[in-house]
Structure 1
Amino acid sequence: MLATFMEVLDTTVVNVSIPHIAGNLAATNEEGTWVVTSYLVSNAVVLPISGWLARYMGRKRLLLTCVAGFTLTSLCCGLAASLPQLIIFRVLQGLTGGGLQPLAQAILLETFPKERHGHAMAAFGIGILLAPILGPTLGGWITDNYTWRWIFYLNLPVGAVSMVLMNRFVFDPHYIKHDGGKVDLWGIGFLALGIGSLQILLDTGERKDWFSSPYIRTFAILCVIGLVALIIRELMTDHPVVDLRVLKNRSFAAGVFLISMLGFVLYASLVLLPLYLQTLMGYPAYNSGLALSPRGIGALLFTPLAGHLTTKTDPRRILVVGLVLGSITMFQLSGLNLYAGFWDIFWAQVLQGVALSCLFIPLMTLAVARIPSQKMGNATSIFNLMRNIGGSVGIAIMTTFLSRRTQLHQNHLIANVRAGDIETWRYLAGLRAHFHSLGADNVTASRKALGAVYGLLQQHAAMLAFVEAFWLMGVVFLLMLPFLPLLQYFKRPQPRTDAEIKLAALPKPSDDELDALERDAQEEESHLIVH
């Protein structure tokens, strides 16, 4: 869990430090965004093949390699002397960190018996929910008080402790057989092309004005080619790097769709709310990140209870509660204005943390409830990939929506001003008089008055766009409700005794060991017959 928390945290902790990193390394802010993009692209490529890598290398060896690589590349990122160096190290950091989330989830699901999967996913969910919320706040605080390099140095002790604990407590399950030599290079190539192009497209689309840019059109074509070829290849080969056949399980397929929609709302709201507070209410970056902390409080307090309830009742009921609460919080945020206070945001964020706990824990439990243990690593890889892709799509769509709606509202407000609204002209006259009293001449006073009115129009246009964006995300929560019946729920078995649970947790003999025992039994039986 330590390693997973560290990796998820690193996805968001760098975002608020981009201006400092770019300035320190003599780069523009747009060039600096590649520090984030490069990590997301390489991370997204490795994430879906982590199940195959565990079979190829062995799960324990893969985990230790990933954590060691992530820790070492974190040190290299902190020591980077130029932007190209930092981008290269971030690519390597994403490659080594991509497998940590699905592997940790698979280990928890296999370690705990099915009747305790809710508790296991509660432990996993705390890291998954808290890390993206704490990331911007922690990143802003470290950057303001120390230097951006300490964002990466922070991973060193966490990585070292994680390696010690993994070496002591993590073991390969009996069914994992090393697939040495069976490498689907075509599948890996198509995956890198499709997922990598998709991530670049989503991350840079708004800055490049989407499909009006040849750059974006090129990556869109590469994305389609890569993903179509990947699907065809993986369904035809006997040794796929991503086993898409697991999506034949209706409950898992529905869970993958729903987790992508939850990622859409979670990551989009994590971007939009701080942006609202910074651009419209004048919050500094650190305080805007701190405003998200009540969401973490709600999640931290309610996640253990959500895990317990998941094991005691139909998890779909908890999902209904979570979706309704999520929509309520978004509709609350859609009522914000330029004079909103701290408590208006605080309680909405606490309630949203509770809602996310009611959503992530039962959904993660239900989605993989009927997945065989030998396919669990592959299933959790796909599940976590779709959550991240959903988040990238959500950020891309909602920031574009915000930009376009702001421009639309601005044009509408300006048209009303030009139509000759008497109150506007009175306001302009008052501003001109104010600037006159400060010593400005007629021309300067008029320009300053018009500038002030235009700034106010921009502010109100942006506020209307934010209100619509929050309202739209509330609707997305409600649109997920009809898909809940697709999640199959089977009554949990009667709780096992402690002795039964301990017996189930004991290492199971491998196929070779079972064959040897069978041969010994046959030899002993033959010996008895002879005598």
Structure 2
Amino acid sequence: MSGTEPIGQRTSGADSVGDAQLVGVQTDKWTRWMIAIAVMVSAVMELVDTSAVNVSLPYIAGNLSASVDQATWVLTSHLIANAVVLPLSGWLANYFGRRRLLILSVAGFTLASIFCGLAPTLTTLVTFRILQGAAGGSLQPTSRAIMLEAFPREERGQAMALWGVGIVIAPIVAPMLGGWLTTNHSWRWIFFVNLPVSVLGLFLVWNYVFDPPYIRRPSTPVDYWGMGLLAIGIAALQVVFDRGQEDDWFSSHFIVMMTVIALIGLISFTIWELRSSNAVVHFRLFRYRTFVTGTTLSLVLFFALYGSIVLLPLFMQELLNFPAVTAGVWNSPRGMATMAVMPLAGYLIARRWDMRALLTGGLIVSAIGGYMFSYLNLNVGPWNFLWPEIVMGAGLSFMFVPLATITVDPIPQEEMGYATSLIALARNLGAGIGISVFATFVARREQFHQLRLAASMAAKHNLPAITSQFQGYLMRQGENSGHAARQALTLMSHQFAAAGLYAELSRWVPPNGDAVIYRGAVRVDYEKA
């Protein structure tokens, strides 16, 4: 078959959801893998950019004469716009066509990135970050839908293995890339670096991706009410997640107001969509038990995963005094292990291994890796992180690939775009909740450990000797002896409290998070569309 043949062309007599409609039946192997690379490049570009900006916030604040608190809106604005567009991706793909939507999204994301890099003020930067987030919101679900359709059912495991490599590696490598670009060049290069990647992505999408014939623009009127209610609800919810800990959660009138708006918006949206004949989000997909279970597991998995991704760099930098680039390098073995093992997971699925068994095994291995992290202390060096990272990364491989494959197994082809948008929304909500919960847990439990240590340190430790070490460190940094003595006690209690906190968290996050996922995983069953 020619590589330029429309990817969804039907074969004569094919039923509406059978494998004969799948793109993979109509294209050669080379074309299928070029499609996979094209859509993965586009999706990973957006993920890397989102994560890389985190490490540059202090530099952005200083360069644009703003406080770090004000600079956090560079992140918040992007996340809000991204979260609003995510659940609309299925409808947008039908309205514009998947190929056109992907091209418009990549082009819009790149153009907004260039303007972000040129922004002279914080207000300008936040404005273009909103546009960038909106343009990038449909990249993940649309790319995933195209990839699933490009491969026949028996090859989907291998396709999802390639997809998973990018999705897992991006948030791990991005902080290292962002730190290097910011330190050696400028924070503006975090945005400019998207240009060559997007050119490659656009070239591949233009030449290899085509719309299947069943993608048709809806004949019913646009559901503006549904879109509006969804935008209000999701935007308010994202603000609550992003600003909750900083504003002391429900002690803040602003957070309470945003929570009420989110609840009203999302409840109203759900009621409206269930009664609408032209819904922008297809809740009828939840009639598939496998889809419901897989989507729920994705939410819980990303909740636990992003908790550990956030905690480990903080432990390395704040307690072990690793430079940002070093912390990034020693976070990368997890991604490298995931990348190495994922093809094996895809191969086993292609050989018809039980995906439920693979998923359960991945959860157990990942939990073991998390438990290994709990034995790290302030006396460890970089190499002590290697095996826990590798074990957890290997476990993640056997979690992502089966879960991604099982979840969409019963979904008809014409509903695939709507399904992947809901899965992407669940993942993002899980990550947002995870980051918020563990940020709050860090703040509250660190206070607990400080109070506990203050009562017991004098009895259990050589307090004068330890205080003297901290005082000497501060004096070497230029503090006078009197101020250094006062600061030594504060710094010492903070360090020991934080050490206890991270040990406590690393025991709790991966094993218990995975245990929750495990109880759901064993209930995953196959359904036929």
TM-score by length of 1: 0.87
Structure 2 matches for 1:245-264, cutoff 5 A? 245-264=284-303
Q: CA deviation at 1:434?
A: 8.1
Q: CA deviation at 1:433?
A: 11
Q: CA deviation at 1:452?
A: 2.2
* 2:235 aligned residue (185, 196, 200): 196
Return 175-184 or 50-59, whichever deviates more: 175-184
The aligned residue for residue 489 of structure 1 is 526
* 1:292 aligned residue (331, 339, 343): 331
CA, structure 1 residues 236+411, in 2 after alignment: closer, same or farther (shift >3 Å)? same
Structure 2 matches for 1:48-127, cutoff 5 A? 48-127=87-166
The letter of the residue matching 2:367 is S
The letter of the residue matching 1:347 is W
Deviations along 1:241-277, whole A, 9 cap, x unmatched? 1111101111100111110111112222111100111
CA, structure 1 residues 114+422, in 2 after alignment: closer, same or farther (shift >3 Å)? closer
The letter of the residue matching 1:52 is W
The letter of the residue matching 2:373 is L
SS of match in other structure, 1:486: coil
The aligned residue for residue 472 of structure 1 is 508
1:353 matched to 2:393? The reply is yes
The aligned residue for residue 442 of structure 2 is 402
CA, structure 1 residues 445+230, in 2 after alignment: closer, same or farther (shift >3 Å)? same
SS of match in other structure, 1:413: helix
The aligned residue for residue 510 of structure 1 is none
Equivalenced residues, count: 483
8 Å Cα contact 1:56/1:180 also seen in 2: no
The aligned residue for residue 31 of structure 2 is none
1:4 matched to 2:40? The reply is no
* 1:463 aligned residue (483, 490, 499): 499
8 Å Cα contact 2:220/2:278 also seen in 1: no
CA, structure 1 residues 416+45, in 2 after alignment: closer, same or farther (shift >3 Å)? same
CA, structure 1 residues 54+446, in 2 after alignment: closer, same or farther (shift >3 Å)? closer
The letter of the residue matching 1:6 is M
Deviations along 1:437-466, whole A, 9 cap, x unmatched? 99xxxxx86764454243222211111111
8 Å Cα contact 2:95/2:218 also seen in 1: yes
Q: Distance between the aligned counterparts of 1:17 and 1:432, measured in 2?
A: 29
The letter of the residue matching 1:129 is V
Q: CA deviation at 1:165?
A: 1.5
* 1:149 aligned residue (188, 191, 206): 188
Deviations along 1:339-379, whole A, 9 cap, x unmatched? 11212111111222111111111000000000000110000
8 Å Cα contact 2:178/2:190 also seen in 1: yes
CA, structure 1 residues 432+25, in 2 after alignment: closer, same or farther (shift >3 Å)? closer
CA, structure 1 residues 429+45, in 2 after alignment: closer, same or farther (shift >3 Å)? closer
CA, structure 1 residues 432+304, in 2 after alignment: closer, same or farther (shift >3 Å)? closer
The letter of the residue matching 2:317 is Q
8 Å Cα contact 2:301/2:517 also seen in 1: no
Larger radius of gyration: 1
1:228 matched to 2:283? The reply is no
SS of match in other structure, 1:71: helix
Return 179-188 or 115-124, whichever deviates more: 179-188
CA, structure 1 residues 184+422, in 2 after alignment: closer, same or farther (shift >3 Å)? closer
Q: CA deviation at 1:7?
A: 0.8
The letter of the residue matching 2:514 is F
* 1:362 aligned residue (402, 405, 427): 402
The letter of the residue matching 1:176 is I
Deviations along 1:263-297, whole A, 9 cap, x unmatched? 11222211110011111111122221222111111
Q: Distance between the aligned counterparts of 1:35 and 1:433, measured in 2?
A: 38
Structure 2 matches for 1:262-301, cutoff 5 A? 262-301=301-340
8 Å Cα contact 1:431/1:449 also seen in 2: no
Superposed CA RMSD:
2.1
The aligned residue for residue 129 of structure 1 is 168
Q: CA deviation at 1:426?
A: 5.1
The letter of the residue matching 2:525 is Q
Deviations along 1:155-183, whole A, 9 cap, x unmatched? 11111221121111111111111115621
Q: Distance between the aligned counterparts of 1:143 and 1:425, measured in 2?
A: 40
The letter of the residue matching 1:461 is A
Deviations along 1:201-224, whole A, 9 cap, x unmatched? 101111101110011111110111
* 1:427 aligned residue (465, 478, 486): 465
Q: Distance between the aligned counterparts of 2:131 and 2:341, measured in 1?
A: 36
8 Å Cα contact 1:195/1:227 also seen in 2: yes
Q: Distance between the aligned counterparts of 1:18 and 1:434, measured in 2?
A: 31
1:385 matched to 2:421? The reply is no
SS of match in other structure, 1:14: helix
Q: CA deviation at 1:40?
A: 0.7
Q: Percent identity?
A: 43
Q: CA deviation at 1:325?
A: 1.2
SS of match in other structure, 1:480: helix
8 Å Cα contact 2:345/2:398 also seen in 1: yes
CA, structure 1 residues 122+230, in 2 after alignment: closer, same or farther (shift >3 Å)? same
8 Å Cα contact 2:179/2:324 also seen in 1: yes
8 Å Cα contact 2:470/2:491 also seen in 1: no
Q: Distance between the aligned counterparts of 1:115 and 1:107, measured in 2?
A: 16
1:335 matched to 2:394? The reply is no
CA, structure 1 residues 461+169, in 2 after alignment: closer, same or farther (shift >3 Å)? same
Q: Distance between the aligned counterparts of 1:153 and 1:433, measured in 2?
A: 44
Q: CA deviation at 1:486?
A: 2.9
SS of match in other structure, 2:522: helix
CA, structure 1 residues 428+56, in 2 after alignment: closer, same or farther (shift >3 Å)? closer
Q: Which runs of 4+ in 1 moved over 3 A?
A: 422-435, 444-451
The letter of the residue matching 1:63 is L
Deviations along 1:487-526, whole A, 9 cap, x unmatched? 22369xxxxxxxxxxxxxxxxxxxxxxxxxxxxxxxxxxx
Q: CA deviation at 1:430?
A: 6.5
Q: Distance between the aligned counterparts of 1:109 and 1:433, measured in 2?
A: 60
The letter of the residue matching 1:261 is V
CA, structure 1 residues 446+190, in 2 after alignment: closer, same or farther (shift >3 Å)? same
The aligned residue for residue 414 of structure 1 is 454
Q: Which runs of 5+ in 2 are unaligned?
A: 1-39
The letter of the residue matching 2:505 is A
Q: CA deviation at 1:12?
A: 0.1
8 Å Cα contact 2:289/2:527 also seen in 1: no
The letter of the residue matching 2:526 is Y
8 Å Cα contact 1:428/1:450 also seen in 2: no
